[in-house]
Amino acid sequence: MSKDLNSLVGKPWKKPPFIQRGWLRWSLVLGFAVYMVAAVLTIEVNWARVYEGLERGKQFILAFTSPDFASRSGDIWDGMLESIIMTVAASVVGIGISIPIALGAARNVAPLPVYLICRGIIAISRALQEIIVAILLVAIFGFGPLAGFLTLSFATIGFLSKLLAEDIESMDKVQAEAIKASGAHWGQWINYGIQPQVMPRLIGLSMYRIDINFRESAILGLVGAGGIGATLNTAFDRYEYDTAAAILLIIIVIVMALEYLSGIIRERVQ
């Protein structure tokens, strides 16, 4: 493949394309273009309605400058408290259940049958969305925060167990072996060989999940599973933008506070 300077000088140079095969490159480009055209064409936009809505949009944005915390303070307070209660309870229970499942889903700790069962639970929990789970649980357990609490606990298991199991699988084997060599039984082995290695990650992930649980708890109310979502929905329905803005501001502030807190905690444990 030797190249000669004389054969290159005077000829234009082009960057070699990212995808070497010409037909593949062009069919990908063409396919994407066709899809985009089709997608944009099939979206029906009622521009008159959108234009009308701009005024309301402006009002909503202006509402952020004068949010109304007062006129529905009772509803907002109850809803927020319920959201926080669901978040706390679901995080505690979810994290508590996640830890044994994570151990079961780590191939280097658990025997194969346990591994398969735990991986199955994780897969189901991850594939089903919070809001769909909430709908089903509301249908089964009735309206109220219990359905929301169960939904969030269930979702926490899928999230936390998967990431924690991956962490256990990628941990340093030598440390765990050293503990085993000292004659420790299984429980001691987990406690001394594995727990210290994955603890910082567990705390970091838990903080992150508490953050997610709070955000999710804000929408569960839309399907009757408790929390601030119901209040928010009512506010939108009645076009009470100043109340809606107040609720959204509270959510944003709490999420920011949680993120700040989890940053501090993660720095301290690592």
Partner 1 sequence: MLRLEKLVKTYKTGDQALKSVDLEVPDGQVLALIGPSGAGKSTLIRCINRLVEPTSGNVFLGGVELTGLSSGNLRKERRRMGMIFQEYALVERLTVMENVLSGRLGYVSFWRSFLRKYPQKDVDEAFRLLDRVGLLEMADKRADELSGGQRQRVGICRALIQDPALLLVDEPTASLDPKTSRQIMRLICELCKERGLAAIINIHDVALAQMFVQRVIGLRFGAVEFDGPPDALTPVVLTTIYGEEDWEATIDKIDEEGDEPEAAE
Partner 2 sequence: MPVQDVQGQKVWQRRTGRESLFHWLLWLAGIAVFAYCWQQISNATTWFFVWDAPSIAGDIWRRATPPKWEYITQLGEPIWDTLNIATLGTIIALFLAVPVAFLAARNTTPSTLFIRPIALLIIVSTRSINSLIWALLLIAIIGPGVFAGVIAIAIRSIGFCAKLLYEAIEEIDHTQVEAITATGASRWQVMAYGIVPQILPAFAGIAVFRWDINIRESTVLGLVGAGGIGLQLSASLNVLAWPQVALILLVILAAVVISEWVSAKVRGAII
Which 201-240 positions form the footprint of partner 2 (CB under 8 A)? 215-216, 218-219, 222-223, 226, 229, 232-233, 236-237, 239
Q: Which does 1 bind (CB under 5 to 8 A by kind): partner 2, partner 1, none?
A: partner 1
The SS3 assignment for 58 reads helix
Closest C-alpha among 254, 158, 242 to residue 215: 254
Round to whole Å and give the CA distance between 181 and 158: 33
Structure-block tokens of residue 217:
């708890």
Structure-block tokens of residue 123:
């897969």
For partner 1, the closer CB: 4 or 237: 4
Number of residues that bind partner 2 (CB under 8 A): 57
Q: Which does 92 bind (CB under 5 to 8 A by kind): partner 1, partner 2, none?
A: partner 2
Round to whole Å and give the CA distance between 202 and 106: 14
- Least Å distance, CB 25 to partner 1, is 16
For partner 1, the closer CB: 13 or 51: 13
Q: Which does 86 bind (CB under 5 to 8 A by kind): partner 1, partner 2, none?
A: partner 2
Exposure of 232 in the CB half-sphere (CA atoms within 13 A): 22
DSSP 16: P
Q: Whats the size of the chain, residue-wise?
A: 270
- Least Å distance, CB 31 to partner 1, is 24
Q: Which does 103 bind (CB under 5 to 8 A by kind): partner 2, partner 1, none?
A: none
- Least Å distance, CB 148 to partner 2, is 9
Interface map 8-47 toward partner 1 (x if CB under 8 A): xxxxxxxxx-------------------------------
Q: What share of the chain is helix, strand, coil (3-state, %, to 5)?
A: 80, 0, 20
Round to whole Å and give the CA distance between 215 and 84: 10
Q: Which does 185 bind (CB under 5 to 8 A by kind): partner 2, partner 1, none?
A: none
Round to whole Å and give the CA distance between 104 and 120: 11
Backbone angles phi, psi at 26, to 5 degrees: -70, -40
Number of residues that bind partner 1 (CB under 8 A): 13
Write out the residues near partner 1 by the rule CB under 8 A.
Answer: 1-3, 5, 8-16
